[in-house]
Amino acid sequence: MQQLVAYTIIGLTTGAIYALASSGLLVTYVTSGVFNIAHGAIGMIAAFSYWQVRFEWGWSAPVALIAILGVLCPTLGLVIDRVALRGLAQATEVTRLTATVALMAAFIGIATWIWPPENRQPFRGFFDGNNVSVLGVNVGWNKIIALIAAIAVAVGLRILLYKTRLGIQMRAVVDDRSLAELNGARPARIASASWALGASLAGLAGILLAAEVQLNVVPLTLLVINAYAAAIFGRLKSLPLTFLGAMALGLTEAYLLWGQGQSWFPETIGGFSTAGLRQATPTIFLFLLLMLLPQAKLRAGAARVRERSAIPQWNIAILGAAVLVISSIAVTGMMTRSNTIYLIQALIMALAVVSLVPLTGYAGLVSLAPLTFAGIGAVLMSKMPGDGNIVSLIAVVVVVALIGAVVALPALRLEGIYLALATGAFALLVSILVFNQGKIFSNGVAEVPPLRIPGVDLSQPRPKAIFLSVAFAVVGLLLVALRRSSLGRQFVAMKDSPLAGATLGMNLVRTKALAFAMSAAIASLAGALDAGKVAPDNYTFDRSLPILLLAIVSGVGSIGGAFFGGMLLGSNTVLASIVPSITNITRVTPGLIGLSMGRNPNGTASQIATGFRPVTSHPQSLLTALSGIGALWLLTSVDIISHWGFFAALVIWGLGIVPNLPALAVTSGRSRVLCLLIAAVGMGIAAFFDDIFEAVPTGGRLLAIIVLFVVVGNAIRRIHTPVAPTTKSSPDLMGLTGFTPEELSQSDRAIKVVP
Amino acid sequence: MTALLEIRSVAVRFGGVMALSGVDLDVQKDSITGLIGPNGAGKTTLFNVICGIRQPTTGVVLLDNKEINGVPTQKRSAMGIGRTFQRLELFTTLSVFDNVLVAAELARVSNPHAVAREQIELLGLTDRTDTIAGELPTGSARLLEVARALAGRPRLLLLDEPASGLDDVETQQLGVLLQQLKSLGITVLLVEHDMSLIMKVCDQIHVLDLGNVIASGTPDQIQHNPSVIDAYLGAVR
């Protein structure tokens, strides 16, 4: 009996912490419409900062609390609202969701950077060591405070929302944003206030939780899963239900903890260990709740999609595939063994990123679990009989595709954030309950056999790298075929307007399931083709996040974008492993890149493509570009410039100079000479890269190449005569479309719009 | 004349609001039937009920004398129901051609490309075939909605304010097109605020106000119906 009381108290206090976190999440969601995936990460940052000032700098607890909850957290909330999210007000839900995923990734990176795991003092709760006796059970003060804080917040929020002007405005904004605005409320300011409040509540929950579970970046960040579950219990609307959900969750966890200590509790079910069950409780809770939600209603007036992907053209796609394969053959011939292994990792990442092209790029569905499917692919490949037989690979792909569709099926009734959360919950469940089983990864590793192809030894790095680039090229071409097919058009149509699709006869559930199956199948290749020893850590939820981020940032609608994203991720790990001093920067970059997305929802690749468009339509420039590459190749093959020189010069030439060629052709006089001079100097430095940067390790060299290309490209761009940008037809032309461009520019001159 | 579509005592309740309170109306085969009424009368709600986007609280919808209440939205297009949306629901990132092509493919017509080209030509959008739908001016976007709906080969076409955003000439052309559709055997149910268009093309008009049908009849009868003038037409004589 006493045990039961003890565990009930534990449950209630844990529930109280969850309630604090979820109420903060709810407050920001309802007033700003942004479901903050990074909510837990804010709590984590707050907990670390509190620990820093309280235990490292020795501030007193009240001062530390005021500094963190009263200053740091609200500021953080305001900055997030103003800087990161405001620009995305008109973006689609997917984009906004990704922005908060980016935040979460950035916060995890920052925390690991500032507070490395070693030499950490313990995090002590409030009045540590002093207990109170409740019904004969000794309860620590931290738990009592958590309970009191939750009650206080519940009462406080109630008063705020119903008795204060700000609170009434908040509720008005929730009710009808535009109507509230018309009546003098200022939704933007109210959203800022709610972000500040939400961040403080996350911070309080983080600090209280850290005292219970100690400082750990990922577990504290995943506190948010509990908050999600509770918030979904409240249907993202009701605070009382959210509190109730949080308490139920806390109690379930506590009773499971108690049960696991009892003799009657089964240690294994069907041969699978139940050890991860308590850890997985919130996720199971969340998953079940999501499954119980009613079918998403078809709604009119969905957000207008800003992102768009051009239909890939066959000739460009085939050219791209050929260039990829040929250059991987050429480049791997020059690379050292260890660099080839890095290239392999980058190609694996590229496959994982490209798996999101049909799902997120075409069909507009977000998955937080691409690497989970890769992991399943790896596990199946390692268990499959046939030892790397091609038939085994096909079987693995088919099975994972089916798993993708089946897993997705219940989730298909959901949309937007609910769907994203369900995939995230799935990823966590597989990590905790399946991948951690000794049966699945024996001693924490699985041995994925290399694929056996007659005459090719894929256990060697070079053939493996070439094979992976062929695999990527094939997947890319298949995706081009998909996008150009009827099904591909249906995917895009579903993203743009599910309502119109359904009225035209589209079976939305089937279409979504197909998108999930295809994505899972491609992702499984990223696991099954990654021969060697793999660990479950390779496929965790938090590793899937950068994949999604880079996919979206580099242009998830295009295969080239996905390749670019994979390479970026790959080069990130290269940088991190070669130059440990910049590891921390590379940890933060995916998140920071993600946050830049608000400016260009189409991603990097399409920007680069826009830069190249004038070149491809200007034969003279195209010829110059190609002969330049040929000349470099020649110089390298006769050993005048080294392999590094070739690589550097290729980057400077291809990305820095070639996009400027058409403009250079029309520039005259001194500017032209200056531009050519800069180009020549840039190419010279690049060509003799090895001699100039002799002592610099690979990571530093890569950085130097990037800096060189940015400097050269921008210098030339500033000097030459700008080429008129191609005008786009816009809905604001007001019927001017009947005129020729000459007539339009004539009239522009007449009314002095342009000189 | 036989009725293609029959609405029988259809009521729709949103919380405490009755959007439709027991509507009865028929749409005759091969006719152009107008559905008019002030904003908030329940016209779009009725469209949503016919398309299966919203289930009626009570009442039945009959197509060809068969009840279609439980039929899901995506199956109704195969039964011959097509529609356009008052708030445009185009596939904004697809080209004009692909918008129509998707519809033709979903309808499983034998030569979707030809069907798509045909509809685009019919609506006079040939010049804009490759334009991205999201970049169309409103008038053309409305016409594209019609082209897309037609590519689904409907027998019953529901048009939700197709003329808003069109200029006078375009509206006239739309009127001609509607007559053409009628002669091709497509039944049209038309929601529109442009009274001159309604009065010119419709065979039969139903007037909806606050969720009730307050009058039904020929354009001439409707124009002289005192309760309609009261509720909707106002001073227009």
Q: Nearest CA to CA, how far is B224 from chain A (Å)?
A: 35
Name the one residue in this structure whose structure tokens are 């917040």.
Answer: A153
- Of A249-263, A295-309, B46-60, the least confident: A295-309
Q: How confident is the model at residue A302 (pLDDT cuts 50, 70, 90)?
A: very low
Distance CA A573, CA A653 (A): 25
The closest alpha carbon to A159, from A147, A168, A146, A172, belongs to A168
Greater model confidence, A490 or A4: A490
Minimum mean pLDDT range among A25-29, A125-129, A631-635, B20-24: A125-129
Nearest-by-CA chain A residue for B154: A504
Q: Is the dihedral of CA A412, A416, A420, A426 positive or negative?
A: negative
* Contacts with B93 from chain A: Cβ below 8 Å: 305, 307-309, 492, 495-496
Whether residues A503 and B90 touch (CB distance < 8 A) is answered with no
Q: Between B39 and B26, where is the model more confident?
A: B26
pLDDT band at A526 (very low <50, low <70, confident <90, very high): very high
B42 touches chain A (CB under 8 A): no
Question: Which is more confidently placed, A399 or A443?
Answer: A399
Crossing angle of the two packed helices A583-595 and A559-578, in degrees rounded to 10: 150
Q: Which residue has the higher pLDDT, A708 or A263?
A: A708
Q: Is A304 on the interface with B (CB under 8 A)?
A: yes
Task: Give me A204's structure tokens.
Answer: 């309080």
Residues of B in contact with A505 (CB under 8 A): 74-75, 77-78, 106-107, 152
Three-state DSSP class for residue A723: coil
A107-111, A138-142, A387-391, A647-651: range with lowest mean pLDDT: A138-142
Q: What pLDDT does residue B188 have?
A: 96
Task: Give me chain A's average pLDDT, please.
Answer: 79
Q: With a cut of 80, say whether residue A675 has pLDDT above it.
A: yes
Model confidence at A305: pLDDT above 60: no
pLDDT of residue A119: 59
At A715-745, the pLDDT tens digits run 787 776 665 444 333 333 344 445 556 666 6
The answer on pLDDT for A94 being more than 50 is: yes
Is residue A621 over pLDDT 90? no
> Which residue in B73, B75, B149 is closest to A298 by CB distance?
B73
Q: Of A101, A40, A50, which is closest to residue A590 (Cα–Cα)?
A: A101
Host H or E run for residue A170: helix A165-175
What radius of gyration, in Å, describes the C-alpha atoms of chain B? 17
pLDDT, position A378: 93
**Residue pLDDT, tens place only, B178-230:** 999 999 999 999 999 999 999 999 999 999 988 899 999 999 999 888 888 88
Which of A27-31, A36-40, B147-151 bottoms out in mean pLDDT, i.e. has the lowest?
A27-31
Q: Which residues of A586-624 are buried (b: 16+ CB within 10 A; e: fewer)?
A: bbbbbbbbbbebbeebbbbbbebbeebebbeebeebbeb
Question: At A609, is the secondary structure helix, strand, or coil?
Answer: helix
Contact of A413 with chain B, judged by CB distance below 8 Å, is answered with no
Tell me what pLDDT residue A298 has: 58
State the pLDDT at residue A421: 82
Q: What pLDDT does residue A699 have?
A: 63
Angstrom distance (rounded) from CA A291 to CA A304: 28
What's the token pair of residue B137? 């001016």
Position A713, amino acid = G
Measured CA to CA, the distance from residue B208 to residue A591 in angstroms comes to: 54
For residues B5 and B48, give the distance between their C-alpha atoms in angstroms, rounded to a whole number.
14
Whether chain A has a CB inside 8 Å of the CB on B31: the answer is: no
Contacts of residue A177, defined as CB under 8 A and 6 or more positions apart, other chains included, come to A187
* Rounded CA Rg of chain A: 28
DSSP type of residue A734: T
Per-residue pLDDT at B26: 93
Cα–Cα distance between A344 and A362 in angstroms, integer?
A: 27
Mean pLDDT of B94-100: 95
Sign of CA dihedral A13, A15, A21, A23: negative
| A190 SS3 class | helix
Residue A301 touches chain B, beta carbons under 8 Å: yes
Q: For position A584, what pLDDT does the model report?
A: 59
Distance CA A148, CA A19 (A): 12
Q: Which of A294-298, B14-18, B21-25 has the highest mean pLDDT?
A: B21-25
B118 touches chain A (CB under 8 A): no
Q: CA angle at residue A314 from A311 to A318, to 5 degrees?
A: 130
* Whether pLDDT at A603 is above 50: yes
Residue A375 clears pLDDT 90, i.e. is over it: yes
Higher pLDDT, B119 or A610: B119
| Residue A303 predicted with pLDDT over 50 | no
Q: Determine contact: B77 vs chain A, CB below 8 A.
A: yes
Q: Do B102 and A729 touch (CB under 8 A)?
A: no
From the list A653, A572, A557, the residue with the least C-alpha distance to A605 is A557
Which residues of chain B make contact with A508, given a CB cutoff of 8 A? 74
Confidence check: pLDDT of A659 > 50: yes
- Read off the pLDDT of each residue in A693-717 and give the average, rounded to a whole number: 76
Query: Cα dihedral sign for A539, A541, A542, A548?
Result: positive
Distance from the A369 Cα atom to the nearest Cα atom in chain B, whole angstroms: 26
Mean pLDDT, range A472-492, rounded to an integer: 94
Mean pLDDT computed over B16-36: 91
Averaged over B2-23, what is the pLDDT? 89
Residue B234 contacts A, CB cutoff 8 Å = no
CATH T-level fold of B1-78+199-237: Rossmann fold (3.40.50)
* CB contact B137 to A (< 8 Å): yes
What's the CA gap between A210 and A55, in Å, rounded?
13
Residues A528-579: tens digit of each pLDDT: 998 888 888 888 887 888 788 777 766 677 787 778 777 777 766 665 555 5
Query: With 70 as the cut, is the pLDDT of residue A312 above it?
Result: yes
Most confident of A282-291, A304-313, A628-637, B153-162: B153-162
Query: pLDDT for A206-250, tens place per residue?
Result: 988 888 777 777 778 887 778 888 888 887 778 888 899 999 988
Q: For residue A233, what pLDDT is reported?
A: 85
Any idea where the domains of chain B sit in the sequence? 1-78+199-237
CA A719 centroid distance within chain: 37
Percent residues over pLDDT 90 in chain A: 17
Which pLDDT score, from 0 to 100, does residue A332 have? 84
**Residue A275 carries which DSSP code?**
T
Q: Which two tokens stand for residue B126?
A: 């040939």
- In chain A, the percentage of residues whose pLDDT exceeds 70 is 81
Q: Is the per-residue pLDDT at A151 higher than 70?
A: yes
Spatial separation of the C-alpha atoms in residues A417 and A419, rounded to whole Å: 5
C-alpha closest to that of A24 among A40, A8, A13, A1: A40
User: Residues near A186 by Cβ (< 8 Å), separated by ≥ 6?
Assistant: A169
For the ranges A371-375, A527-531, A586-590, B28-32, the lowest mean pLDDT is seen at A586-590
Q: Which one is predicted more confidently, B179 or A276?
A: B179
Which of the two residues, B135 and A738, has the higher pLDDT score?
B135
Return the residue in A499, A503, A508 with the most chain B beta carbons within 10 A, the one to mutate for interface testing: A503
pLDDT per residue as tens digits for the range A58-79: 888 889 889 999 999 999 999 8
DSSP state, residue A134: E
Three-state SS annotation for chain B: CCEEEEEEEEEEEECCEEEEEEEEEEEECCCEEEEECCCCCCHHHHHHHHHCCCCCCEEEEEECCEECCCCCHHHHCCCCEEECCCCCCCCCCCEHHHHHHHHHHHCCCCCHHHHHHHHHHHCCCHHHCCCEHHHCCHHHHHHHHHHHHHHCCCCEEEEECCCCCCCHHHHHHHHHHHHHHHHCCCEEEEECCCHHHHHHHCCEEEEEECCEEEEEECHHHHHCCHHHHHHHHCCCC
Taking one residue from A and the other from B, the number of pairs with CB-CB distance under 8 angstroms is: 105
The pLDDT-based confidence of A607 (bands split at 50, 70, 90) is low
- Ordered DSSP codes for A41-78: HHHHHHHHHHHIIIIIS---HHHHHIIIIIIIHHHHHH
Residue-level pLDDT at B114: 96
What per-residue confidence (pLDDT) applies to A527? 92
